[in-house]
Chains A and B, each alone.
Chain A
Amino acid sequence: MSPVREQVLTLLEVEALIHKFEEKYQVSTTEFLTSTALRANMLDDEVFQWEAFNAHRDELERVAEGVRSAYLGNVKKSTDETHPANNNLALAA
């Protein structure tokens, strides 16, 4: 087993970490991302982590949206068909 560590964060966990930075600096993530002056005076590692958590959240939301779209596409396809049982299969997926 590799000694290199790995942490997997859920959307809720990432949002909590982002919220912690927003509370600490009393600015929104949008303000953080657009304020060069604020970022220049923060600890570099906190800038990195805040950006990384924000990108992490974006990617999780992107993946969730992809799953949602695929699911809805499947449901729509099923309703177009004559077998109502297909809806139940899609909902169960």
Chain B
Amino acid sequence: MAQLATTYGKYRAYADSEYDALAIPSDCTETLKLIFTPVNDVAWSSRWYLEFTDGKYIRAVERFQRWPGLTGIAKRMTVAYHYGDIVRRNPDDNLPGYVSAGTDQVDIRIDNSCAPIHLHYQSQNPHISQSSVIGLDLESVDMFIFVKGIFRHRATKKPLESIFKFKIR
């Protein structure tokens, strides 16, 4: 249930239900448990970090805000779902860090930093726009779809493009 337009109450109910049903693998630790920071029913953000014993990590962050012109509806404005090697840590909180202007390793990343939603696959560059991603609507991916996909990829060793069902044009 990826939602472009929703409310905090609805999204939290969905997140609680997905989180309760999530089976976290034994080689995975939540180094920042999923945390929501709501303002009200139309504005909130969330952060979530999971690390694996082989040095990889997942970061899932989202920010929703009031949808201009639509009363009582929120829109996902910022999104970043990242899976890759831990190449550095933020000294302030010891969480894995990623610098978009660098050469940080990426297995898969979906984000809308500085550009409409796009994909990074197996390297930081290029930024692969939605028009070059066949079979996967990037906007339809939410944090639970992403995290469960990574868990499945690690458990089955299937390639990520097979797990998330996309091809790059």
B169 on interface, CB distance cutoff 8 Å: no
Residues of A in contact with B, size category: 20 to 34
A25 on interface, CB distance cutoff 8 Å: no
Contact B45 A56 (CB under 8 A): yes
Contact B100 A44 (CB under 8 A): yes
Question: A39 to nearest B CB, angstroms?
Answer: 8
- 1/0 per residue, CB under 8 A from A, across B78-112: the answer is 10101000000010000101111100000000000
Interface SS of chain A:
helix
With A40-B101, A59-B40 already in contact, the answer to whether A46 and B90 are too (CB < 8 A) is yes
Q: B70 — which chain A residues lie within 8 A by C-beta? A: none
Chain B residue with Cβ nearest A62:
B66
Contact A43 B37 (CB under 8 A): no
With A2-B20, A4-B15, A56-B45 already in contact, the answer to whether A48 and B63 are too (CB < 8 A) is yes
How far is it, in angstroms, between the C-alpha of A8 and the C-alpha of B40 when the chains are bound?
A: 10
Question: A16 to nearest B CB, angstroms?
Answer: 14
> Which single member of A2, A39, A59 contacts B65 (CB below 8 Å)?
A59
Q: A3 — which chain B residues lie within 8 A by C-beta? A: 19-20, 33
B76 on interface, CB distance cutoff 8 Å: no
Chain B residue with Cβ nearest A37:
B101
- 1/0 per residue, CB under 8 A from A, across B143-157: the answer is 000000000000000
Chain B residue with Cβ nearest A41:
B101
Chain B residue with Cβ nearest A7:
B37
A55 on interface, CB distance cutoff 8 Å: yes
How far is it, in angstroms, between the C-alpha of A4 and the C-alpha of B37 when the chains are bound?
A: 11
> Which single member of B43, B65, B77, B98 contacts A44 (CB below 8 Å)?
B98
A9 on interface, CB distance cutoff 8 Å: yes
Q: B15 — which chain A residues lie within 8 A by C-beta? A: 4
How far is it, in angstroms, between the C-alpha of A36 and the C-alpha of B47 when the chains are bound?
A: 23
Q: A9 — which chain B residues lie within 8 A by C-beta? A: 37
- 1/0 per residue, CB under 8 A from B, across A52-93: the answer is 100110011011000000000000000000000000000000
